[in-house]
Structure 1
Amino acid sequence: MKKLLSLLAASLLLGCVSVADAGHTVDVAVINRSTGERLQTWRYEGRLYVAGRPGDRYAVELNNRSGGRILTVLSVDGVNAISGQTAAASQSGYVLDPGQRSEIAGWRKSMDEVAAFYFTALSDSYAARTGRPDNVGVIGVAVYREYVEPRVDYEVQSLSKSAPAAPMAMPQGAGANRDEATRAQPMEKRLGTGHGERIAAPTQSTEFRRASSRPSEVIAIYYDSHANLVARGIIPAPHRPAQPQPFPGGFVPDPRG
């Protein structure tokens, strides 16, 4: 069994309305650590998008909705958030207990610290600064269920054999190339994720055996600036009158003080 990093159990407040992507096994949301808010998600042509603002620190919130332990392999801009390697679903990840909700706030630097995730210009992103700018602008989570030893019923064992398990399929669109509109944008105008200050984030190792060599699901959340997402038609543009209005105001406001 391969040893993988495990999150310490942490209870988070549930007062906010969730705008996370509801996967079958895990919910994923992007948290603005500067304000504590969950970023609103926008669905466009089958993909999920959030709007970031340069300089804001953020975290990826993971919520295990299943009744068993799961392994979540987190990639940011095509880079594994634990090892710093070019991301692959087979790499190390975070193990969550049933019902556990936790936040990943940065690049893992040690068993005690991470370097903060923050939105920044693509050229300043960790991926670009390490020579890997091609996949900047997407957060990915590959989810694995834990292998459970089959229960043996000795009374019927001689009568029948278990049917072979069906192969797990990758979600539709996983691994597809990003749209040409995104690639065509100038690098300096797109957002990426930087390598920020060290923050405390203790964790520990645990053993985890995957139930399959393929993830049970892959969740992707794309991000860019609000202006770029509006320009691409992902976020609806605010309504503006066709002609200037001579009296745009409303009723008389109360005086100050």
Structure 2
Amino acid sequence: MTNNDDNDYKLATDNVAQPDQEIKKRPIKKQIDNEEINEKNENVEGGEGEEEEESEYEYEFVPTTGFYVVIGTILLAIIGFIIFINLDYPMSKKVKGMFISSLIDFKNQFFMKKVYIAAILAFIFIQVATAISSEIVERINPDAVNSNNRDLNDFSNSSMVGAFIVAALCFPIGEELFFRKFLFGIINHFSKILAYLISSFVFAFYHFEFDFTKLKEEFTRFPLYLLSGFTFAYVYDYTGCILASIIAHFLNNTKAVILSFLGELK
């Protein structure tokens, strides 16, 4: 086995994600045509250094055991819910009726003008807050890197379509249904103030990276995460329509995906 074969084998084994890891990113070698290989060899022979070896790699997300467990749990929950509402029990029939009523209400929200106005205003407000927050963070630490944006950049480099589907569609829908429709909705039956506080703080901590080397950066950004949570909660509470907060969240994440694709997301 040649040295090149040894290096390739080592690269392959080093970059394989272990089953017990969280979702990770691994470097994968880009395809290099013969002309690029010859040009690189000529540069090495001519004394030009191996300057940008890192440029030969791109990043892709590696789904691991934890990822499949989460997806599997969601699918099982959906299947279980469908089976439950079709059982011949009074509770099942009641839940089914409530579910159908919610679907009809959600469909009607698409034709409400206030939904789109509130969503757009919330989106604009969050963009202004983001700009101010980014300026503050940059002044405190010019080298700070937003972990959420960094992961999105890596994901976009791997698959633009995948990044849009996951970050711009799945995340806004899933997060709004959980943090606003479910969490805010339940707590709101007891206290509106607590509903705002708890749902927004949980939302903020959900986006918080608990890394001791980056706590200063994350705590600086925490008010923005919290403000976003309050904004989405207010949009939902004010309009009474979960579609409004979903659209606002969708616009915010879509902007991030586009900036990431253009290489402008920091």
User: TM bucket by the smaller chain?
Assistant: under 0.3
The structure with the greater share of residues assigned to strand is: 1
The structure with the greater share of residues assigned to helix is: 2
- TM-score, normalising length: structure 1: 0.21
